Amino acid sequence: QITLKESGPTLVKPTETLTLTCTFSGFSLRTNGVAVGWIRQPPGKALEWLALIYWDGNKRYRPSLASRITISKNTPMYRVDLAMTNMDPLDTATYYCAHGGRHSESGTSYFPFAYWGLGVVVTVSS
């Protein structure tokens, strides 16, 4: 059974760095074809994909936030971290991590998010 859980501070000040942890079970990031992503959702707004890390260490970032975010994995600890620098009140959101399993079509791979954590609410305020 795949489960994911986000953890981290619920309140950060503007300009601070946010570090969130996704702790998971039921799969390993050593396994070929697995990815973990971070997605956020500002209050009352749509989902916004932030970052993705693959089993082989490759990473993808939302272009508009790429200079501020870093995704990393601690494979033995079944953990993926997200760091976001220079936090702003506009970064107030629920932050989710999710598991993506590889599917292939016409030789192209894609990773729908079939398993999600419950999310962690992060407020940015002084």
* Minimum distance, C-beta of residue 21 to other proteins, in the bound complex (Å): 17
Contact 95, 4 (CB under 8 A): no
Cα 97 to Cα 56: distance, rounded to the nearest angstrom: 18
Query: Which range, of 7-15, 24-32, 71-79, 117-125, touches other proteins by CB under 8 A?
Result: 117-125
**Residue 111 corresponds to which tokens in the numbers above?**
């990773």
Q: Looking at beta carbons only, is 44 or 76 nearer to other proteins?
A: 44
Q: Looking at beta carbons only, is 108 or 126 nearer to other proteins?
A: 108
Verify binding: residue 103, other proteins, rule CB under 8 A. Answer: yes
Query: In the range 44-83, which residues lie near other proteins by CB under 8 A?
Result: 46-49, 52, 60, 62-63
- What residue type is 16 in one-letter code? E
Q: How far is CA 39 from CA 32, 59, 63, 82, 108, in A?
A: 22, 14, 14, 10, 23
Verify binding: residue 117, other proteins, rule CB under 8 A. Answer: yes
Contact 8, 21 (CB under 8 A): yes
Verify binding: residue 2, other proteins, rule CB under 8 A. Answer: no
Contact 23, 81 (CB under 8 A): no
Q: Looking at beta carbons only, is 11 or 47 nearer to other proteins?
A: 47
Residues that bind other proteins (CB under 8 A): 37, 39, 46-49, 52, 60, 62-63, 96, 103, 105-106, 108-114, 116-119
